[in-house]
Amino acid sequence: METNNTHTTSLRVNGNDYQLNILPWVSLLDALRENLDLTGTKKGCDHGQCGACTVLVDGKRVLSCLTLAVMKDGSEITTIEGIAKNEALHPLQKAFIEHDAFQCGYCTPGQICSGIGMLKEGKAHTREEVKELMSGNLCRCGAHKGIIDALMEVKEGGNYE
Amino acid sequence: MNNFTYAKTTDATQAIDQLNGSTQNKIVAGGTNINDLLKYFITTADKLVDINPFTDNHAITELENGGVRLGALVTNADTAYHPLIESRYPLLSRAILAGASAQIRNMATNGGNLNQRTRCYYFYDINTPCNKREPGSGCSAIGGYTRIHAILGQSENCIAVFPSDMCVALAALGATVNITGPGGYRVLAFADYHRLPGDTPHIDNNLQHGEIITGIDLPATGFKKNYSYLKLRDRASYSFALVSVATGLSLDGNIIKEACIALGGVAHKPWRVTAAEDFLKGKEAKRENFAAAADIILQGAQGYAYNDFKIPLAKKAIVRNCMMALNPETQRPGAQPSK
Ligand SMILES: Cc1cc2nc3c(=O)[nH]c(=O)nc-3n(C[C@H](O)[C@H](O)[C@H](O)COP(=O)(O)OP(=O)(O)OC[C@H]3O[C@@H](n4cnc5c(N)ncnc54)[C@H](O)[C@@H]3O)c2cc1C
Ligand code: SF4
Ligand code: FES
Ligand code: FES
């Protein structure tokens, strides 16, 4: 396809401004991984079925595999690389370590971004509701119990900004 | 995906203009369905017309007639959690929250939800014949594996089901769809929006090319006291319905004044049978009457071996859901089955 089909797209990712000249069919997931070298965000299914690619766009958790990068021109994006504050892990990251909330770790970046989105939404009050509102993140290693334990601890601690 | 161009539009006039010229110029809203279909080459596009930058159609507002308008570009999540919807149309909130996942609901729009395509396995497999994907090629589901397929309203050309949860509630509520296009503005009753497959299974609904849904209007009656949405599926969450039921009841003591019952997962469109609702009018709200109504709704149902189970399942689901509507707290996640 001719290069005049590229679109100048400004993204603020983890506090850094980027300008990309990008073709319309490039997913936000591929733009993050291939163009910006931010490979923390994982490609599981590439079809909206696993949650591994979850990032926060303007504060909301979404699936980067089903998002076209050109459509997010001007947006603020947080990926797993932007969750820790310098060397200090986010409370949810610490809780994941404490509760053994992963095995291979492939789903973890998506789980953590989704978990932070879920906590900010404030719609889950019980363990049952946390499970329901985290059902978009699958873990093939079956670490769900630890994941929900970690989320419950941080939710009850109330410290997840 | 095939190579396509991309245009942002800020109002319907611009979008209509951008859609003009090729039926391969297509709207993208949340992208959760069309981007998936493009990736599999189930659909192709010359141009994607992005309607998210529209200045209008991003709000949920009260109407003078007592109803509520849902902007086409409001996300499914923002709709489900909106105070007006939670308080006056809890049936709609429930149905939306039963669908997809939190991330997808944060992306998916109300306009897009109505236009999502079937999840028929053969429609998704571009190496098999499918009349919906490739008109005239045949239907691989008939004689194939049919666990998720239709039991009502199907034709010999297609037995796919329409997979939306939100639309089952919109059908029960009797919403209307606001459409603007090259020919001007028109309004369709919800029941007239989606189609049965007939001889044209490649056409899911009555939206014409170039037309845009701007909003969906809910009537004043929201059944906020007696409502229930029940979704039965292979996983407890993040899975499409095998059978779903939306019920709204208006009661006078224990006597039914009005009953609205729509089924999902059973047909090419949300399924609503006026005769069953008329039957319930003036009758006592009890199991036996709901069971008789369920029999009317399922009249003429036909299974295809692997989905035969849907016929008794749908009947039981209707009865259970109507009983839960008498006591809406019973439908909390993790709630015990009704006795
Ligand atoms: C893994 C997965 C699981 C899911 N599970 C469920 C489920 O359990 N229940 C359920 O109900 N849904 C489910 N969905 C489907 C989801 O709800 C739909 O994909 C979504 O509602 C589509 O909305 P969108 O805005 O993303 O549409 P898009 O993908 O942007 O568009 C879909 C179609 O609508 C057209 N369109 C969009 N907006 C308009 C408009 N305003 N006017 C005219 N045409 C328009 C587009 O041209 C396109 O043809 C699931 C999806 C995925 C990926
Ligand atoms: S049921 Fe419909 S969508 Fe599925 S293979 Fe047959 S024609 Fe295609
Ligand atoms: S990679 Fe996006 S949901 Fe699986
Ligand atoms: S830790 Fe391996 S997939 Fe979740």
How many domains would you assign to chain B? 2
Residue B127 CA to residue B326 CA, distance in Å, equals: 48
Query: pLDDT tens digits for A19-70?
Result: 999 999 999 999 999 999 999 999 999 999 999 999 999 999 999 999 999 9
Whether the per-residue pLDDT at A161 is higher than 90: the answer is no
Question: Are residues B3 and A61, on separate chains, in Cβ contact within 8 Å?
Answer: no
Note the pLDDT of residue B332. Answer: 65
Confidence bin at A4 (pLDDT 50/70/90): confident
Which residues 211-250 on chain B approach chain A with CB closer than 8 angstroms?
Answer: 236-238
On whether any CB of chain A is under 8 Å from the CB of B103, the answer is yes
Q: Which of A50, A62, A67 to mutate to test the interface with B (most CBs of B within 10 A)?
A: A62
Question: What is the token pair recorded at A16?
Answer: 């850094």
User: Mean pLDDT over residues A143-156, rounded?
Assistant: 97
Closest ligand relative to B307 C-alpha? 2
CATH superfamily of A91-157: [2Fe-2S]-binding domain (1.10.150.120)
Of A27, A54, A132, the CB nearest to B103: A54
DSSP string, B5-26: EEEE-SSHHHHHHHHTT-TTEE
Residue B260 resides in a domain: yes
CA–chain centroid gap for B67, Å, is 20
Instruction: Grade residue A2 by pLDDT with cuts at 50, 70 and 90.
Output: very low
Query: Residue A140: CA atoms inside 13 Å, Cβ hemisphere, count?
Result: 10
pLDDT at A81: 98
Mean pLDDT of chain B: 96
Q: Which residues of A touch B40 (CB under 8 A)?
A: 47
The pLDDT value recorded for residue B24 is 97
User: Do A128 and B334 lie within an 8 Å CB cutoff?
Assistant: yes
What are the tokens at A9?
């797209």
- Which single residue is written with the structure tokens 């203009």? B17
Q: What are phi and psi of B252, to 5 degrees?
A: -120, 100
Return the pLDDT at A160: 72
- What was the pLDDT predicted at B330? 85
| Cβ–Cβ < 8 Å for A51, B103 | yes
Q: Which ligand sits nearest to residue B110's alpha carbon? A: 1
pLDDT, residue A140, reads 97
Q: Does B28 touch chain A (CB under 8 A)?
A: yes
* Neighboring chain A residues of B103 at a CB cutoff of 8 Å: 51, 54, 61-63, 114, 117, 136
Q: Enumerate the domain spans of chain A.
A: 7-82, 91-157
Using 70 as the pLDDT threshold, list the residues of chain B that sit under it.
332-339
Tell me if chain B has a CB within 8 Å of the CB of A1.
yes
- The pair of three-digit structure tokens given for residue B197, joined into one six-digit string: 């497959």
Residue with the nearest Cα to atom 3 of ligand 3?
A48
Task: Ligand 2: list residues with CB < 6 Å.
Answer: B 118, 120, 122-123, 130-132, 139-141, 158-160, 201
Residue B120 maps to a domain: no
User: What is the C-alpha separation between B30 and B77, in angstroms, rounded?
Assistant: 12
Containing structural domain, residue B257: 226-330
Tokens 């902007």 — which residue? B71
Left if phi > 0, otherwise alpha if psi is -120 to 50, otherwise beta: which for A21? Answer: beta
Report which protein residue has its CA nearest ligand 4's atom 4: A139
In sequence order, the β-bridge partners of residue B55 are: none
B317 lines ligand 1 (CB under 6 A): no
For the Cβ of B167 lying below 6 angstroms from any atom of ligand 1, the answer is no
What's residue B338's pLDDT? Answer: 47
pLDDT given for residue A1 in this prediction: 44
CATH of residue B236's domain is: 3.30.390.50
Asked whether the beta carbons of B55 and B11 are under 8 A apart, the reply is yes
Q: Which pLDDT score is estimated for A3?
A: 58
* CATH ID of A7-82, from 2.40.30.30, 3.10.20.30, 3.30.160.20, 3.40.1280.10: 3.10.20.30
Please list, in sequence order, all residues whose beta carbon lies within 8 angstroms of the beta carbon of residue B245, skipping any fewer than 6 positions away.
Answer: B168, B228, B229, B230, B261, B262, B263, B264, B314, B317, B318, B321
Picking from B260, B235, B224, the residue whose alpha carbon sits closest to that of residue B84 is B224
pLDDT score for B328: 92
Residue nearest to atom 50 of ligand 1 (CA): B100
Of B6, B39, B106, the CB nearest to A62: B106
Rounded to 5°, the CA angle A24-A26-A28 comes to: 115
Strand, helix or coil at A41?
Answer: coil
Distances (CA, A) of B135 to B26, B144, B247: 19, 18, 35
In chain A, residues with a C-beta closer than 8 Å to the C-beta of B32 are: 48, 63, 66
Q: Is A128 on the interface with B (CB under 8 A)?
A: yes
- What ipTM was reported for this prediction? 0.97
Beta bridge mates, B228: B247
The verdict on residue B92 lying in a domain is no
B25-28/B60-62 β-pairing: unpaired
Q: Tell which one of B36, B48, B109 to mutate to probe ligand 1, the residue whose CB is within 8 A of the most ligand atoms.
A: B109
Domain presence at residue B131:
no
The reported pLDDT for the residue numbered B306 is: 98
| Cα Rg, chain B, nearest whole Å | 20
Average pLDDT, chain A: 96
Residue A115 C-alpha to ligand 4 middle, in angstroms? Answer: 15
Nearest to B103 among A5, A62, A71 (CB): A62
Q: Which amino acid is at A63?
A: L
